[in-house]
A and B are shown apart, each in its own frame.
Chain A
Amino acid sequence: MKKLAENGIQPHDAEMKSDGRKWSLMEKLLLGLTLDQYLQQVVRNKFNWLLALIFAIGIPLIVYRFIFGLGSVTHSSYDYPWGLLLGFGLFCMVPLSASGFMLGTSVELFGRHDFEPIERLALLNGLLGYLFAVVYLLVDLGQPWRLAYPMVYSFGPAAVLFLVGWHVATYLSVQLAEVSTAFFEWIGFRRGYEFIRKGTVGLTVAGVILSTLHQGALGALFVYAPGKVHPLWYSASFQWIHFFVSSIPAGLCMVICVSTVVIYTMKWRCDQRFIDNLDRITISLAKGAAMGLITYLFIKFLAVAHDNEWAYLTTGWGLWWLIEIGFGVILPLILLSIGIHHKNVNLCRIGALVTVLGVLLNRLNTSLITFNWHLYQEVPHILEVIISITIFAIYIMTYRFILNRLPILYQFKSRADA
C-alpha cells in the first residue's frame, strides 16, 4: 500500500469519488484499488505469507478438533480442565479488551473529546477481543452448540459463569452497536448512524456496568477453587476487584500497543487528525494506565495483608509472585512514569507493552501456572498451542481487515463535506 500511495493512488475514504460518483461496495472492499492492484499488494506483504502458513497448519487442526473431540488436541486433563484455550483465549483476551469501555466512558460520559481520534480504535479493540474470546470458548467447550443454553433453556443463576455468559453476550451486543456507527458511515446508511448515536450515553453506561461485572466475574470464577489456586493468587474477597482493576491498565496499554503497530505499519490508512494527535493521546493513556497500575499494586499487597500470607513470600512460589509483580506491575510503572514525565512517547509504548505482558502473566499464573500448585504442572499440548496461535492469527487478520476499510483510523468524508 505504501508503494501505491507513492504512485499517487488514494485509498477509499469518502462517500463520493472525486468525480462525484458513489463508490460501489466492491470498490469499497478493494479499498478503492483495482482487483489487480489489490491482489498485488496482498502478495507483496510478507506478513500475509506468515498468516497463510499459520492458517495452512492451524485451520485443519481446528477442523480435526471438531471431528475427533477435545481429547485429540489437548491432554484431556481432569486436573486442569481449563487449558491454554481458556487460560489465554478467555482470561487474557478479555482484560486486553477493556479499552472499549474505558475510552467510551472517557469520551462519551466524561466529555474528554480530546481522546476522540482514538475512541473508535479502542471500541473496535474491545469488540474484537471479546468476539475472539468467544471463539476460543467455542473451540474449548465440550458442546459449543449448546452455548445459548444458559440464556434460553436451563438457568443456573447462582453461578458466576452464568453472570459471565450473560454479560459477555450483552456486552458484545453493546459493543457491536457502538462500532456499528463506523460501519453505517462506511456503507452510507446515515439513518442507522444517527439512530445509534442518539443512544450513545445509554450504551456507554451499559458498557461500564457490564464490564465492571464480568471483568470481575472472571476473577471470581477462580474463587471457587480455594486450595487449587495458590493463596498468593487467590483472594476470596478481592479476586474480582484485582481482575477488574488490572483490566484497566491492560485495556489502555493494549490500545497504545495497537496504535503503535498501526502507526508504523498502516500509516497510509491514518488521517492527519490521528497522526497529529497520537503522541499526545499516548501520553494521556499512559497516565491513566499508570494510575491503574499503582492502584493495582496497592490492592495486590492489601490482599496479601488481608489474608496474612506474608509467610508465602519467602517460598519459591512467593519469589514467582514477586517476579510477576516486579516485572508486570512495578517495572511498567517506572517506565510509564519516566515516559510521562519526559513526554517520551516511545518509552510509554515500551511501558505499555510490558504492562500487557504483565497482565497476561498474571492471568496465566492464576489459570494455569499456579493452579493446582501442589499437583504436577500441566504443559499445554502442542496442538492446543498451535490452535491458540491460529485463532490469534485470525483475530489479527480480522482486525486488519476492518482497520483497512471502516473509518476507524480516519474520519469518513460524507457527502456534506465533499
Chain B
Amino acid sequence: MAGKPVRPANAIDQTRRMLSLVTYLRERPGARIEDVARAFGITEDELVSDLDVLPMCGTSFRGGDLLDIDTDGERIWWHNPAALGAEAAEPLRLAADEATALLVAARAVATLPGLRESDRQALLRATAKVETAAGEAAGASARLSVTFESEGGVFADVDRAIAERRRLWIRYYSPARDELSEREIDPIRLVSVGHTYVEAWCRRSEARRTFRLDRVAEIKILDEPSAPPEIELRDLSEALVQPAAEDPVVVVEVGPGGRWVAEYYPHDSADELPDGGLRVTLRTPDPASLKRLALRLGRDGRIVAPDDLADSARRAAREALAAYDDAGTAG
C-alpha cells in the first residue's frame, strides 16, 4: 500500500508479533500463509521469518518441548500445540505503548469532520472497548493527542465523489496569486497530514495536483464520471510539495525574527549570519509566489536573489504605501 512506512526489522516488534502468532495459530490448524500475513498486517516474507524462529522456541530448552511448527509454503501446521500449556497461549494484555498508539490514532481519526457518521460511531465504540480492555495501560494515552484539520462540508463532498466516482467542480484559492480559480478535478484520494488534502487529476492543467481542503472556497459534485488516468500513488509521508532540481533558486536573508522561514519552507540550505539571522536558499517553480513572503517579512528579512523578485516586492510595498499617503486619514 502506498504511504506505508518502511520499518527496519526490530526484535521487540517481532517478539510481540510471535507471541500473538502462537495464540492465533493454536486455534487455526492448517492456516494459510497468505491469510495469516494479511490478518497480522505483515508481508509473507516477514511471516516466514517468524516461522523460522518459532521452532527454536519453547518453554524450556532442556525439556525438549520446542514448538513443532512448520509450513509447506502454503499452510502452517503446529504438531504439538500441547507444548504450550493452554494458559501460556492466551491473548496478552496491551502494553502502555500499544494502547497509546491505537487509542491516540483512533481518537484522532474520530475528529475528522468529514468521517461518515456510521464509521465514527463504530470507531467510538471500538475505542471505548479497547480503553476498557487496556485498563491501566490506557492511562498514558491521554498524554498524546492529535487533531486533524479539515473543512467538514468540503470533506464530505470529496469523500462522496470518490466513493461514487464523480467529477468535482471547485473554486480554489491560490495564496501565491491571491486569486480564486475554477477547476474540474477527478479526485483520487484524501490525505490528512496536519491539513487535509485531496489528491486529484486536474482537468485544466492535465496533471496531478494536491488541493488543501481549507482553500476550497466552493465545491460541487458533477454528474460526469470521474476518470483519472492510472497514476502511481506517491508516498506522502514527507512534504507534499517537493521542489524539483531545475526550479529557480531564491535566496532570502532574515534576521532573528524571520528564522521561522527555515521551518516553513523546504530549503536547500540555511546558513547562520553573524547577527543571529539566517541566509536561506530554496527552490521554487514559481518565484513570484514568494512576493508575499517578502512583504510579510517586513524588517525581519529581504529577498537577496533573484533581483526581479526583490524589485517586485519593493514596488508592491511602495504601491501599498501610496494608498495611505492619499487617504491621509482613516475612513
User: Does chain A bind chain B?
Assistant: no
Q: Report which B residues bind A (CB closer than 8 A).
A: none
